[in-house]
A and B are shown apart, each in its own frame.
Chain A
Amino acid sequence: MYRKYANGEITALQSYIIIISIMIGTGILGLSRVVSDIAQQDAWISVLLNGIFISIIMAVIIHTVRKYPEDNFLQYISYLLSKPIAYLVTIAYIIYATLATATIIRFLLEMIRTWLLETTPMAILSLILVLTAVYMVKNGLTIVARFNEVLFFYLIVFILLILVALPETQLINLRPVGGSGIKSIIKGAIPSFYAFGGYEVILVYYTYISDKNTKILKYSVLSVLSVTLFYTITVASQIALFGPDELSRVLYPSMNYLRAVDFPVFERMELFFTVFWSFTVIGTMGLQFFSGCLLSQIVFKTKKAATFAYIYAPIIFMLTLYPKNTPHLVELSSYIGYMNIFFGLILPLLLFIMSLIRGGKGSNEKSV
């Protein structure tokens, strides 16, 4: 594969898969609980509205970034917002990406310690995961994208797991539809934003797509909508199974959902679920990690992004060990949620408005 860019290139199809893969990550576990705490039985409507809203944001992003196809993240932001702000934003994004990676790894570790390995020390598991992340990003963007492509096939199996407990659900739990009131429904969309997080990474990766064409807008929005559909159905089926009262008492509804049915061969389906879900999360982690390394490479102008992978690895390792327990982690991850809102919502809108004001073709240099 003859590389056009030093960090590798991705095809348009890979970019759609990246969007889907990075969105389906740690958020799905507690999504229904978090939203139904506020919106009760209409949590699924909140999720649906949130998804549609995000697909509009995605359309805004692609529309903006499309005007500057050859500029990387730093270049088009410095064109639209001015250089010092661009550097600030980029460095903020690097910090956000690193923190997000550490959060994801820590979340995964929590799940593994709860369901798979109770007594293994956190540090060793964290070390293995960090090493895996470094190995994944070492060879550039193309490898990370291909890994997520292979994982995409797993996702299809994963999705079938939703249908598992349908016989046990009681649709009455979903009624009255709309009974919580418009206000709760809209308020319920805010915590679900974190579950959809990650799509803003397209801001960083757009320039590396080798066959950009007009259909990218359509299909990127479709990717977000398919994830929305998946989440909506998940949340709806979990509410239908548990009911909003019970749901608020279950820490990880997606896991407990699978206990509703008995399987012939495997006694505990949750381990099965954990295995598939771990793969998905590892894919998400790789993408987030690489976006941080990539931007660092652009800012500090080194030859390969992999150098930063080695530099950030120990930092992330220590960060994953920092939260003392799960509630502490949840609290810290809410800060990540705020940063997510900034990069996922405020920044694209800002760029969109500036691109309308300034117009033009961007700095139009050949990307790094």
Chain B
Amino acid sequence: MPPLSSSNSNYKDIGLSKKLQENEQQLKAIFDRSTDIIFRHITIHEKRNKKEILLVFTDGLVNTSELNDSIIKPLNHFSVSKEDSKHIQEITIDNVTNIVNSNEIASVSTLDEIIQAVLSGDTIMIIEGYNTALKLNSKGWASRAIEEPTVESVVRGSRGGFTENIRNNTAMIRRKIKDPSLKIQELTIGTKTNTFVAVVYMEDIVDKELLKNIINKLTGIKIDGIFESGYIEQILEQNHFSPFPQMQITERPDKACGNLIEGRVVIIIDGAPQVLIIPTTFNQLFQSPEDYNERVLFGSLIRILRYAGFLIATSLPSIYVAFISFHVQMLPTNLIVDLSKTRAQVPFPPVVEAILMEITIELLREASARLPGTIGQTIGIVGAIVIGEAAVRANIASPTMVIVVAITALGSYVLPHYSTSYALRTIRFPMIVMAATFGAFGIIITWTWLIIHLCSLSSFGYPFLAPFAPINMGLFRDAIFRLPLEKLKKAPNRKS
């Protein structure tokens, strides 16, 4: 897989010399004090003379048994065996490919390409007397087995998730879409990390303008290192300060493939299992592959539940604060009596109570994410129950507040797209403050600002709030409820 662009510009135009000795010295100077770069000499005894071959590879990145069996063994065998040397008199760069068993052989001539190849796990073979070298595929390193993604688990659907190895990930996509128009273009991004990035799309469905735009932006990235898809997301996104993500992230191959078939572009980065899906719209943050695996009625109802969860997670604490502080007359009389009994014992105004409880929940959330395994879960449960109880007993919070906070937390977890929960938490706090200052009017104004912000957001030129604004009937078939699959057959025309 030759990378489209490499950033190791120091060695870009330096080639090899015909003398093996000089090549070896040059490479040893570059890889000085890297003891994991191995230089293996092989001397071939040909009919008339000896020939020196140098193999350069990185220990730990190569599959040593394959290297030994397929590359070193045939070369050694050639020296010894009389039959082989009958057909081939002299090892040249052309016929060594007939001796060596490797499934991918390419020729490289610049130092730049050789360094990239060695650092990626290929083996470089330099033959005395030639100024081009051969790159043999021998990649193999320890990697994680395919597991279910932790934050995107489904009840019905495949349990495999992407891994850190880009080749495994592209293979998982190929397994789901067996179509030659599925194109996988690779780039190298990052001047120091030289990370492989794959741009995956369906040639006949994708929007060509969008694709050109994405590839231009990617090749124009000048940054030291790319470690995860988030780096690319932050470079490509249009609005850095919006709480909402402008691209989707997923670890599930079925979600990635579903989006590919609808004409979107998937970007896979070597080294992290999360892939990017471009472009995205607001309603996609509420979609999960399960909606399509289940039947129409449940797919639609659960999706409506998710929208309700979104509304609850953003607004419920603010509604509580607004009602208790400003509009007590809105509540039924019985409720007011009970509420006033419990609230009378709390010394703080409702807004302080709300913010205290919310901050506690946020701390709990972060703590349980950082702590290992079972301790984290225990803290989560214990913390929630014990702290809630204790807070009520100590008259720091009223029981209604605890219920409100608990339902809010649940509401924010129904979203299938994990990054959106950050958006919810970010929006919730200003809304509580606005509700405390201006009551229901504050909530109205905050929602207005939110909607205006969402209206002006766009993901790579595609309006973020489609299909709600601009109303696009094609996308509506899949927005709040999901129409039967026969009606969803064609990829919707997303441009508006």
- Chain A residue with Cβ nearest B470: A11
Any B CB within 8 A of the CB of A246: no
> Contact flags (1/0) for B446-482 with A, using CB distance below 8 Å?
0111011001101001110100111100000000000
| Secondary structure call for the A interface | helix
Any A CB within 8 A of the CB of B242: no
Contacts of A14 in B (CB 8 A): 470-471
Contacts of A315 in B (CB 8 A): none
- The stretch that binds B, out of A181-189, A271-279, A293-301, is A271-279
A128 to B333, CA, bound (A): 32
Any A CB within 8 A of the CB of B445: yes
Q: Is the CB of A143 within 8 A of B461?
A: no
Q: Is the CB of B330 within 8 A of A125?
A: no
Any B CB within 8 A of the CB of A146: yes
Contacts of B468 in A (CB 8 A): 149-150, 153
Q: Is the CB of B452 within 8 A of A143?
A: yes
A111 to B40, CA, bound (A): 85
Q: Is the CB of A275 within 8 A of B440?
A: yes
Contacts of A342 in B (CB 8 A): none
Report which of A1, A143, A145, A267 forms a contact with B333, defined as CB distance below 8 A.
Answer: A267
Question: Interface size on A (CB < 8 Å)?
Answer: 35
Any A CB within 8 A of the CB of B297: no
> Contact flags (1/0) for A1-29 with B, using CB distance below 8 Å?
11000000001011001000000000000
Q: Which of B440, B448, B462 has the most A CB atoms < 10 Å from its CB?
A: B448
Distance between A111 CB and nearest chain B CB, rounded to angstroms: 10
Q: Is the CB of A116 within 8 A of B439?
A: yes
> Contact flags (1/0) for A151-169 with B, using CB distance below 8 Å?
0010000000000000000
Distance between A286 CB and nearest chain B CB, rounded to angstroms: 9
- Chain B residue with Cβ nearest A272: B330
Also in contact, A135 and B441, with CB within 8 A (given A267-B331, A271-B330)? no
Any B CB within 8 A of the CB of A136: yes
Contacts of B455 in A (CB 8 A): 143, 146-147, 150
A100-143 residues with Cβ-Cβ distance < 8 A to B are: 112, 116-117, 120, 125, 128-129, 132, 135-136, 139, 143
Q: Is the CB of B441 within 8 A of A117?
A: yes
Which residues on B are within 8 Å of A, measured CB to CB? Answer: 326-327, 329-333, 438-441, 443-445, 447-449, 451-452, 455-456, 458, 461-463, 465, 468-471, 496
Which residues on A are within 8 Å of B, measured CB to CB? Answer: 1-2, 11, 13-14, 17, 112, 116-117, 120, 125, 128-129, 132, 135-136, 139, 143, 145-147, 149-150, 153, 264-268, 271, 274-275, 278-279, 282
What 6 A-B pairs come out closest when comparing CB atoms? Answer: A146-B469, A149-B469, A146-B455, A139-B456, A143-B456, A143-B455
Some 19 contacts from A to B, beta carbons below 8 A apart, are A11-B470, A13-B470, A17-B471, A116-B326, A116-B439, A116-B441, A117-B326, A120-B438, A128-B438, A128-B445, A129-B445, A132-B445, A135-B452, A139-B456, A146-B463, A147-B455, A150-B465, A266-B331, A279-B447
